[in-house]
Chain A
Amino acid sequence: MGRWRTWAAVAGILALVAACAPPGAPGSGAGQQAAGPIKAGVLASLTGVSAASGQDMVNGWNLYWKLNGATVAGRQLQTLVEDDASEPNTGLTKARQFVEQQQVDFIVGPLLANIGYAVADYVKTTGTPTFFPIVAADDLTQRARVDNVIKVAGWGSSQVTHVQGDWAYDQGYRRVLTICADYAFGHEVCGGFVRAFTARGGQILTQLWFPLNTPDFGSYLAQIPGANPDAVFVLTVGADSVRFVKQWAEFGLKDRVPLLATETMLDQSVLRSMGPEAEGLISLGHWAEGRPARETQDMVDAYLREYNQLPSYYAAAMFAAAGWIAKAIERLNGNISDRKAFLDAVRRTEVSGPFGQQKLDDYGAPILNVYVRQVERRPDGRLWNVPIKTYENVSQFWTFGADKFLKQPLYSREFQGTPEQLRALGLQP
């Protein structure tokens, strides 16, 4: 009996203690005085499957401050880098660390969409200004908007491929087969293409979905000749891209079937690892390192000098985001303790950077240029993407208009935006 009484007492004390709240809620300590350094928390994947692109992110961010000096409006800018190990739970922990322990003024990053969603859910509760130059997940600036999360110098998964659907139809393709990575980014990228392509009257023959990190694409490539498509639309990321492009050539498809390649598939981060099999391929993207404009080539040259590589979109976007944020901080004369004012200043800033002219729409997503890019070999032997056509001022809603577009659900494996699917939902194709 005695023992139970002891335990009851312990439980009672615990309940009592829990009843009175300890001081300090997460995030309440943030907001530095105007004099000290501005603290930026950069969240990137430095280990795990996305390690290379994560390193590019940090490189791009650092390059900006190296070229422009790590001071904004008289205040020093201090960068803290944390590795999310390509893993959402670690990413969440690191975001907590930035906000609650380091008390950063803002967070920039991460790389992967699932980490982005997890971090957005968290910073929603703390109000920390958070900038996503890399994470493209559509809903972050559409149906699941978080006020303090802005895609500074970023993009939307389906933003580029809406254009690609239109462009593919213009090239005369009518029957297309799609092969896309089976996760949210893949669903959204593919959905953007299917929505715009079928809206013009194109036909989707089959949609194949492969799991991330597929060692061997042979099984998917084997299904192409039987379907006899006009062109094949493909979305891959990371090492999958290198394998896919290689196997595409090895199976003799490069000369026989037009490939509608996507941005991440031929991004510099993977193009570096490719050879002749990639030359001549055409993709659409919001980044084109071969764009002749001076603001692009200055950045590309500086990056090449510093890191002996051409910048990927991960590097370029972090570089551009740094410039964008710096511009906003200067407009506030360095006083960013009022978070609302800071976020507003970032929203109102327009830039002309390595990506070309960009500004944000009312939903926190950029309105940007989309380039039709062809892989060419530079005189120094490196491969890069050179624009052959530019679509300016492309909205995340393409030409559909925000109101109409937001009525349709998020692109997923089940909803790809075909006319039949739209009609089934009572929407106009």
Chain B
Amino acid sequence: MTADTFALHFLNGVTFGALLFLLASGFTLIFGLMRITNLCHGGLYLVGGYIGFSLLVFTGNFWLALVGAGLAIAALGLVVERTLLRQVRGQTDPEVLLTLGLAFVLGDLALAIWGGDPLTIRTPGVLRESVSLFGLTYPVFRLFVVLVGVGIAAVLWYLMHHTRLGAVIRAGVDDREMVDAMGIDIQRLFNRVFAFGAFLAGLAGLLGGAFLALYPGADWEILLLAIVVVIIGGPGSLVGAVVGSLTVGLIDAFAKALVPDLLYFTLFAPMVLILAWRPYGLLGRAS
């Protein structure tokens, strides 16, 4: 492997990891606080992408579509949490089954509404270009996704460490009873956090639509990768999500080139081992 090829693989891993981070950060937030494996997170991602696609067609404005997709999915998340998930709060298996059922419905409705043709999101002018980077040609859009990822990570970090909401969430991840004892309306907190996680999924959907295209089945493909990210990083951990995303992105990029036959094995085997020995992730803390 030449230095150029290595650098390209590395860049690919980092940029793909940044996209995964957008999805995984919402997933890990929900998982960490509410202990819900939100299996319809991929469905929210896909529907977000499709809604963003339609918004882009109608308004012609990429940024409007980006925000619109996020907000639409946040609203959907609010409704889902309030009407469905709240009914089975605290019960592991019903929560898993419910989100699983939702995932099927979302994926199929998306197919019914938007059809099965793969759709791509047209990015605005400058993002469509390529730049020369140390002699390598590289798409600007991918670097933009990294930028968004860094931005979201910074916002999340600020929220978690410098706001009251963040303090409560962190307390909730570590010790549920304490939050209850503090007299905080945990229902409302859950509702908001779920909606915020959904918002991030909607954003990721539009960017993912530009990065990877939207098509039936994209929801499951990206969800499985996001779950690997969350497990490796440790559920509920922001730093873990960053590290996990980069790890999975890089494994994906290099495994494709070096051990193509074992591509999925290299992703799922570490996940199994980490779950068995360190279920709170490489960086997570056990309670």
Q: A interface vs B, CB < 8 Å? A: 47-55, 182, 209-211, 213-216, 218-223, 225-226, 238-239, 241-243, 246-247, 250-252, 269-270, 272-275
Question: How far apart are the CA atoms of A251 and B15 in the complex, in Å?
Answer: 14
Between-chain CB contacts (< 8 Å), 5 pairs: A214-B256, A216-B16, A216-B252, A273-B119, A275-B120
> Are B260 and A210 within 8 A (Cβ)?
yes
Closest CB of chain A to B126's CB: distance in Å? 13
> Are A219 and B12 within 8 A (Cβ)?
yes
Please, which residue of chain B has its CB at the minimum distance from the CB of A256?
A: B137
Question: How far apart are the CA atoms of A275 and B121 in the complex, in Å?
Answer: 10
Question: How far apart are the CA atoms of A213 and B256 in the complex, in Å?
Answer: 13
A48-B217, A51-B111, A211-B263 as given contacts; A222 in contact with B9, CB under 8 Å:
yes
Interfacial chain B residues near A269, Cβ < 8 Å: 117
Please, which residue of chain B has its CB at the minimum distance from the CB of A215?
A: B212
Interfacial chain A residues near B60, Cβ < 8 Å: none
Interface residues of B in 222-262 (CB under 8 A from A): 222, 252-254, 256-257, 260
> Are B8 and A239 within 8 A (Cβ)?
no
Closest CB of chain A to B107's CB: distance in Å? 9
Question: How far apart are the CA atoms of A274 and B120 in the complex, in Å?
Answer: 8
Closest CB of chain B to A50's CB: distance in Å? 7
Q: B interface vs A, CB < 8 Å? A: 2, 4-5, 8-9, 11-12, 15-16, 108, 111, 115-120, 122, 130, 137-139, 141-142, 211-213, 215-218, 221-222, 252-254, 256-257, 260, 263
A48-B216, A52-B117 as given contacts; A252 in contact with B257, CB under 8 Å:
no
Interfacial chain B residues near A53, Cβ < 8 Å: 116
Question: How far apart are the CA atoms of A219 and B10 in the complex, in Å?
Answer: 9
The 9 closest A-B pairs by CB, nearest first: A51-B116, A52-B116, A252-B137, A218-B12, A222-B8, A250-B139, A239-B118, A239-B215, A219-B256
> Among the listed B2, B108, B120, which residue makes an inter-chain contact with A47, where contact means beta carbons less than 8 Å apart?
B108
> Are B253 and A182 within 8 A (Cβ)?
no
> Among the listed B5, B212, B216, which residue makes an inter-chain contact with A223, where contact means beta carbons less than 8 Å apart?
B5
Interfacial chain A residues near B119, Cβ < 8 Å: 273
Please, which residue of chain A has its CB at the minimum distance from the CB of B210?
A: A246
Interfacial chain A residues near B9, Cβ < 8 Å: 218-219, 222
A222-B8, A225-B4 as given contacts; A273 in contact with B217, CB under 8 Å:
no
A182-B260, A213-B221, A243-B213 as given contacts; A226 in contact with B4, CB under 8 Å:
yes
Question: How far apart are the CA atoms of A281 and B115 in the complex, in Å?
Answer: 26
> Are B216 and A47 within 8 A (Cβ)?
yes
Among A210, A223, A250, which residue has the most Cβ atoms of chain B within 10 A? A250
> Are B116 and A55 within 8 A (Cβ)?
yes
> Are B16 and A215 within 8 A (Cβ)?
yes
A219-B256, A269-B117 as given contacts; A226 in contact with B217, CB under 8 Å:
no
Please, which residue of chain A has its CB at the minimum distance from the CB of B141?
A: A250
Please, which residue of chain A has its CB at the minimum distance from the CB of B249?
A: A216
Please, which residue of chain B has its CB at the minimum distance from the CB of A312?
A: B117
A48-B217, A250-B130 as given contacts; A222 in contact with B118, CB under 8 Å:
no
> Among the listed A52, A241, A252, which residue makes an inter-chain contact with B115, where contact means beta carbons less than 8 Å apart?
A52
Question: How far apart are the CA atoms of A216 and B9 in the complex, in Å?
Answer: 11
> Are A216 and B253 within 8 A (Cβ)?
yes
> Among the listed B108, B130, B215, B260, which residue makes an inter-chain contact with A251, where contact means beta carbons less than 8 Å apart?
B130
Interfacial chain B residues near A226, Cβ < 8 Å: 2, 4-5
Among A182, A218, A225, A273, which residue has the most Cβ atoms of chain B within 10 A? A218
